[in-house]
Amino acid sequence: MNLNLTGKVVVISGGAKGIGAAISLACAAEGAIPVMLDRDSAALGQMEEEFAANEHRYGAFHCDLTDLSQCERAVQSVKENFGKIDVLVNNAGINDGVGLEKGSPERFLHSLQKNLLHYYALAHFAFPALKTSRGSIVNIASKTAVTGQGGTSGYVAAKGAILALTREWAVEFLPHHVRVNAVVPAEVMTPLYEQWLATFPNPEEKLASVVSKIPFERRMTRAEEIASMVLYLFSDQASHITGQHLYVDGGYVHLDRALS
């Protein structure tokens, strides 16, 4: 299957680590030009070294996405350096544990700034370029938006809003032939997931408990599997798919875990 991604400029927030890094690498492998926006300069440097060693075209912008002016400058820099934006992948976020009991209204607002506001900001600033390219947006959400988790109101509110905005933006972009979809992961091993596991007295036991509840093959979803869905969604092969929430989770959300 030819995804026809050669030369497409793909902006990926949080593109240097975890799921974002997997998306960046998959883009390069398919001939697209990944443009990574990330605040982790060390991770960006490692990705740059890998792309340079393999002679891939890429972009890397160090920025704090909670700063709206930096979001705007990043999008402008992409347009200046590459002349266009074909795809926006909204990915960056953190499950920060801002709940009702252990949170506060101030911390809740800050969580939304870390997990939601930059999704809107990047889409807003990229709007003219995406109209011109008749491009695509893929939003990375989370199973917590539909299952709940407990103790993480800010993150779940953001991810629920991301699912709603996927449908809203799909409608707003209809006249401009821009497609908008969301990918919904469940349990994916990333650096942030490893940090979460480390908060438990016995991380190995907790991981085994999680994996035992994943219906298909009793294993975590690989970041590369999320990336494959993302690339498919913004490829020509998905040219009539918009406003959809695609679950890549081994059946975690929708299959009866009593079967596990």
Q: Which residues are catalytic?
A: 155
What is the 3-class SS of 202-255, one letter each residue?
Answer: CHHHHHHHHHCCCCCCCCCECHHHHHHHHHHHHCHHHCCCCCCEEEECCCCCCC
**Among 15, 55, 52, residue whose Cα is nearest residue 34:** 15
Whole-number Å distance between alpha carbons of 186 and 226: 10
| 228-234-236 Cα angle (round to 5) | 105
Cβ–Cβ under 8 Å, residues 180 and 170: yes
Whole-number Å distance between alpha carbons of 214 and 107: 32
Whole-number Å distance between alpha carbons of 3 and 192: 30
Give CA torsion, residues 198, 105, 91, 117, to 10 deg.
-160
Whole-number Å distance between alpha carbons of 167 and 163: 7
Whole-number Å distance between alpha carbons of 203 and 191: 14
Whole-number Å distance between alpha carbons of 10 and 234: 9
Phi, psi of 167 (to 5 degrees): -70, -40
